[in-house]
A and B are shown apart, each in its own frame.
Chain A
């Protein structure tokens, strides 16, 4: 087994050099549809970060103490997706009880997250790269923050684009894809500084 990567390095690497959205294309659907609005983007980004950190921790535990010892690797997709759905559901109830104000801003996004590919993607990367527990959690948190950063940037850019003339056929998703392309190019500038694997 290769020596485990330093968690701090991993945290920053997952935000910048291998941003889950801009270099792995994960979580695009909600990224494009929500980023129209700055406020919702903030809420969704926060929700994704929380869910990703928690699910990364829980799935790591499930993976190393249940799935691997029992040799159930072929079931891992189902297990992960159920873990995500369960965490989202529980989180929704907890937030609802603990802070109705937060629930108002965050709660509506929680159901969306179950089918956000970024979450499942982060877990699958964690499984393939054989991370340890600390690494898994920092990777989850870093990917969440990276996703958050990316959606906030895009939301701000889109607000400016709204006021500019765009060719009719490119309006909406078209110009957004081009913007994301430029953002991805900018993030490529970070690559080579640190590697995740």
Chain B
């Protein structure tokens, strides 16, 4: 029983209810870093870390929190984990920390954290909330990494900083700039929604 629930959550967060293309959450801060795979990787790992741990903490605290000050407590808990992350990055990966700039701090206002805290951690046991936060982060990571692959490959001709394109390749400058991120997200949304709609239709057909 419990096993099936964890599987449902996994599938929900990675596909049927993916934070990016279905819920449209958390596109704010991270689109800006998707022109390099390394930064995207670190950023999304950070978001996953912060979402999972803040869901765990908030779910543990849920009976102690008065409803009125709930928002403030949630935000303070999230800030706590993001500060930890920021300090870790500054200590071990100073150059990445510099490139990401304010976007690390902006994980606090990443809507995924707040969304999971409100929608899931409020009503579920700590371990389950942890799992939910973790998988939400992974769903987020999957989409952003896919976008980052395209942007870095076409924009710089590299993958993880290693040259893969042939010598004469002309980089697509547009891929490094802001608009391409929007177009790519729209493409992912289009693809995911069409596939889901098709499956839905097939399921309805089967029921008849």
Contact = CB atoms under 8 A, between A and B. Distances in A.
A78 B105 contact: no
B28 A170 contact: no
A22 interface: yes
Interface residues of A, number: 45
Contacts of B185: 177
A161 interface: no
A169 interface: yes
A91 interface: no
A27 B31 CA distance: 12
A168 to B, nearest CB: 7
Interface in A49-66: none
Q: Which of A23, A77, A167, A188 has the most CB of B within 10 A?
A: A77
Interface string A30-68: 001100000000000000000000000000000000000
Q: Which of B82, B106, B109 has the most CB of A within 10 A?
A: B109
B189 A117 contact: no
Contacts of B110: 117
A179 to B, nearest CB: 8
Residues of B contacting A: mostly: helix
Interface residues of B, number: 42
A82 B75 CA distance: 8
A29 B24 contact: yes
A174 interface: yes
B42 interface: no
A74 to B, nearest CB: 6
Interface in A109-143: 111, 114-117, 119-121, 124-125, 127-128
B182 A181 contact: yes
B158 interface: no
7 contacts: A25-B29, A33-B24, A77-B83, A77-B108, A115-B109, A169-B193, A188-B179
- Shortest 4 CB-CB contacts between residues of A and residues of B: A181-B182, A124-B102, A169-B194, A177-B186
